[in-house]
Amino acid sequence: MAIFFKIIFTCSVVISLSFNAFAETNPRMMLGQKLMLDIRYFCADNTPSKQCRKPVTQLPDLLKDVFKRHHIGGVILFTENLTTPTQIQQLTKQLHALATEPQLPMLIGIDQEGGRVARLPTDFSPAFAGNMAIGATYANDKTRFAKDIGTMIGRDLASLGINVNFAPTIDVNANPDNPVINVRSYGESVTSVSALGAEFTTALQAQSVLAAIKHFPGHGDTHVDSHTGLPRVEHDRATILAQDVAPFAHIIQHSQPALVMTAHIQYPGLDNTTLLTQSGQQIRPATLSNKILTGLLRERLQFDGLIITDALDMAGIAQYFQPLDAVIETFSAGADIALMPFTIRNLDDIRQFDTFMTALYERIRLASDKAKWVNSYERIARTKASLIAQAKQPNQLAKQAVTMADKQQLATQLARASVTQVSGDVGILNGTASKRILLVMPDALRCAGMRKALQLHAQAHAIDCMNTTTLVAQDPRLHSSYLTQFDVVIAGDISPQISLAEMGGMDDLSQLLAQQGKRNSLTQQHDYIRHVFNRVSATSKRIFVALRTPYTIVDWQAMTDATFAIYDYRVDESTLHSTSLEAFVYYLFSEQQAPGRLPVSLPTPPGLH
C-alpha cells in the first residue's frame, strides 16, 4: 500500500485514475476520510450521553477502535482535551498513530482564533486580544499584528502536533446586534478584513498549519447565533458579493487557504430553493446549498481546497435534520468534510455510530453521482499529501527558540496598540493617584482583574467593586451616601453576553441556560451602571469601557467623562492577570493618546437622527 501511494503522489499523470481505482475498491476508507469527529468527553461506564463530562486527555481504546474501524480522517480538539504541552503532544501522537495509511495523516483541528475563541492553555499560548483588537491597529500598523500573531499561533499548534486551525474568522461584522461574531471579526471594512485575514492565513500556513477561513459566505450581518438557531441574511446578491463574500474571494486568490468552513445561514439572495426538514419546508442554509458551495465557492471563486462544514451538531442544522440526512445533504452540496456529524460520548453512542456509518455507506453506494464523492476524496488526499511535503521542508523560523516571555510581549504590544479612546481627555486620570476608585464590573473575575490592573498603575486609597451580574437593588452601596465618596467610577460592560462559540460548543448549552437563569440580564446590569453614574459626586470622574463589542459606547458618552473600547475581557483565573485590562489602565494614567482606532462605526446615539 505504501508503494502504491508513493506512485500516486510522485506521478501526476496517473493521479486521477489511481485515486478513482483506489476509491472504488476502498469506499469505506473514502467515507471515513470525509468525517471529522470530536472527542471532547467519553464515559466508558456508559453514563448517559448528555450527562457525560469526562474529558478525553488520553485516547481510550474504545475510541481508537472507532477511528480505526471506520477509517476516520480527522478530529477536532476542545479546551477539555488540552491541559499541558506534554499531554497535548502525547494525545496528538496517539491520534496521528490512528491514520489509515502513512500517506493519509490525521487532520487534527482546533478553534484557536485568538481572543474569546481560543482553546490552548494560556500559560503556553496566549489568547491575545482577538481579531477586532487587531482590526483596531490596522490604521497605524496595517497587517503587522495579523502576521505576527498568525505566525506565533501556527508555531505553537505545529509544536503540539495540531495541523488544522479553524481560523481566521473573516466575517465582515456589519450588524451591531450580532450575538456570535462581533469581536471575532476584524471589523466592518471589506478592505481591512480581507488584508488582515490574508496575512493571518499566509503566516499560519507558513508554519505547516492549515487555515480554515470562516464562515462562508459570511456570518457578519446576523442577529441569530447559528449555535442556537438558523440565521438568515436578507442582502441582495450584489451586496452579498461585494460585502460578505469579498474577503473570501480575496484570500482564496492571494493566500490559497487549505480549507473554507461553511456557515449554517440562509442566504435567499444566493439560493432561495427549499427542502423538507423536521420543521417543514425551509430555505437551504449555505452548508446544504449546492448553489453556494459548488456554484459560488467552487466554480465562481475557483476554490480548489477543502470545504468543511461548521459543526453539524449546532442547532442551525441539528434542529432541522437527522445526522444522516444532514451529512448526505452537505456532501451532495459539495462539502468535502463533515465536522462533528455524530456525537460519541459512551458505548451506546458507539453502537449507534456503527449503524449510522452503515446507513451512510449504503446511501453513498447507491448514489448516482459517485464521481463527486471520488473527486472529494482526491482533494482530501492531496491536501494530506501537502502536509507530508511541508513536514519535509526545513523551517528556519521553527529553529528559533520562542519563550513565553516573547509571546507575552507580543500580547502586550497588541493590547496597547488596540486600546481605543472614543471620547474624553487623554490621560483622564493622570495625576489622580491616591484617590478612591469605584469599579462597576460585569462579574467577580472582571472586578478582580481590574483591581489588580489598577494596583499596578495607581496608588489608590481604596478600590471597591460592584458586580452587576449578582447585584441586588437592596445593596446599601447603591445609596448616594456611599457613592458620593468616590473620586473615580470605572464601569465595564460585556455585550453581548457569552456565546456557545466562546464556551466551546453545543455541549455547553445546558450550562449557558443555567447561567442565564442565575444572573442579571444585560438590561438590569446597564440599569445599575446608570444608577451609579447618576448618583456619584458631580466632581467624580466617570469612565466607561466596552470590554467586548464597542457599539454600546454610544449609550454612555453623554453621562461620562471618557469612553474606551478594548475588545477583550479575558482575565486569568489563577493570577488575575489581564493584558487588555492592564493596557486600558495604562492609558488612563498616561499622557499618551491611546493608538487604537474603531474598526466599526458606532450607531447614532439615542435621541439623535
Give every CB contact of residue 555 below 8 A, 6+ residues apart in sequence: 526, 605, 606
Total Cβ atoms within 10 A of residue 113? 23
3-state secondary structure of 495: coil
Checking 460-463 for CB contacts under 8 A at 24+ apart, the result is 460/433, 460/434, 460/435, 460/436, 461/434, 461/435, 461/436, 462/436, 462/437, 463/436, 463/437, 463/438, 463/439
DSSP string covering 126-189: ---S-HHHHHHTHHHHTTHHHHHHHHHHHHHHHHHT--EE---B------TT-SSSGGGS--S-
- The DSSP secondary structure of 76-128, one letter per residue, reads EE-GGG-SSHHHHHHHHHHHHTT-SSTTSPPEEEE---BTTB--S-TTTS---
d(CA 215, CA 181): 10
285 with 264: CB under 8 angstroms? yes
Distance CA 490, CA 588 (A): 10
Helix or strand or coil: residue 37?
strand
Beta bridge partners of 308: 261, 337
DSSP assignment of 392-435 equals: TS--TGGGS---HHHHHHHHHHHHHHH-EEEEE-TTTTTT--S-
Does 310 qualify as catalytic in the annotation?
yes
Angle subtended by helix axes 15-25 and 370-391, to nearest 10 = 110
Q: Are the C-beta atoms of 127 and 115 separated by less than 8 Å?
A: yes
CA count, 13 A, side-chain hemisphere, 450:
29
Distance between CA 342 and CA 550 in Å, rounded? 37
Which is it for strands 274-277 and 562-565: parallel, antiparallel or unpaired? unpaired
Give residue 564's identity as a one-letter amino acid code.
F
**DSSP 8-state symbol, 298:** I
Of the residues 38, 310, 507, 555, only one is catalytic, namely: 310
State the Cα–Cα distance between residues 76 and 78, nearest whole angstrom: 7
Give me the active site residues, please: 310
